Amino acid sequence: EIVLTQSPGTLSLSPGERATLSCRASETVSNNYLAWYQHKPGQAPRLLIYGASSRATGIPDRFSGSGSGADFTLTISRLGPEDFAVYYCQQYVGSPPITFGQGTRLEIK
Amino acid sequence: EVHLVESGGGLVQPGGSLRLSCAASGFTFSTYAMTWVRQAPGKGLEWVSAISGDGVYTYYADSVKGRFITSRDNSEITLYLQMNSLRAEDTAVYYCAKNLRNGMATYDYWGQGTLVTVSS
């Protein structure tokens, strides 16, 4: 099972700033099968990025994903007030089990 | 527009059973694998189970294997999760989710979730 470790656990930033979230895998994530989700309380999770760097339908271009192998990054170039949420990475290599990181909480400073 | 609506959650005693449903609309249901993901109170997302579009193949997390059964009725456009021998640690919001595409277990649409509480 691939274990995903996200850092930092909590990130405190102001609107307009740049956010950089990290996701490190316990082994190589083949084919860059790595996704990022945004999750707000009481709402359904929202797919942001798949394939490490492809934006999902309707996702603003201020969200970008990068990385390969075992190290991946989600960058939000200019934080809007609606971007404060919990972010999860997820790997989907081969057959289950599918695993998620423990999440990074992005909070308003 | 794609919609997924879960139902069937509630309070159940340890050792009891519950069946969750997920009604789908807005896409060709039978051609997509579907997944259950849960979130325990104060915890992160946990993958629970998946089922192929034709219902032939099912997959389970070790934590629920042998207790939960995922099925689907493509004529009724509904996904199910039969949960047996429930434990306190199964308490969570359960989400159904649609796979982005076949062969790619990442999820582009999710329901709002249904809360399952296992307690005496």
* Per-10-residue mean pLDDT, chain B, length 120: 97 98 97 96 96 95 97 97 98 97 89 97
Mean per-residue pLDDT, A37-41: 96
Among A30-34, A93-97, B11-15, where is mean pLDDT lowest? A93-97
Length of chain A: 109
The fraction of chain A above a pLDDT of 90, given in percent, is: 94
**Residue-level pLDDT at B102:** 79
Contacts A39 to B, Cβ<8 Å: 45
**Residue-level pLDDT at B48:** 97
Shortest Cα distance, chain B CAs vs residue A64, angstroms: 17
**Residue-level pLDDT at A97:** 85
Whether the CB of B120 is below 8 Å from some CB of chain A: the reply is no
Confidence of residue A72 (pLDDT cuts 50, 70, 90): very high
State yes or no: pLDDT of A95 exceeds 90: no
Shortest Cα distance, chain A CAs vs residue B14, angstroms: 25
Q: For testing the chain A interface, which of B58, B70, B106, B110 should be mutated: the one with the most A CBs within 10 Å?
A: B106
Query: Using CA atoms, how far apart are residues A90 and A101, in angstroms rounded to an integer?
Result: 6
Contacts B37 to A, Cβ<8 Å: 45
* Residue bearing tokens 């034709």: B54
> Closest residue of B to A35, CA-based?
B106
Q: Name the residue facing B44 among A35, A43, A100 (closest C-beta).
A: A100
E strand intervals along chain B: 3-7, 10-12, 18-25, 34-39, 45-51, 58-60, 68-73, 78-83, 92-101, 104-110, 114-118
Confidence of residue A83 (pLDDT cuts 50, 70, 90): very high
Q: For testing the chain B interface, which of A37, A57, A91, A98 should be mutated: the one with the most B CBs within 10 Å?
A: A98
* Residue bearing tokens 């042998």: B66
**Residue-level pLDDT at A39:** 97
Does the distance separating the beta carbons of A96 and B105 come in below 8 Å?
yes
State yes or no: pLDDT of A32 exceeds 90: yes
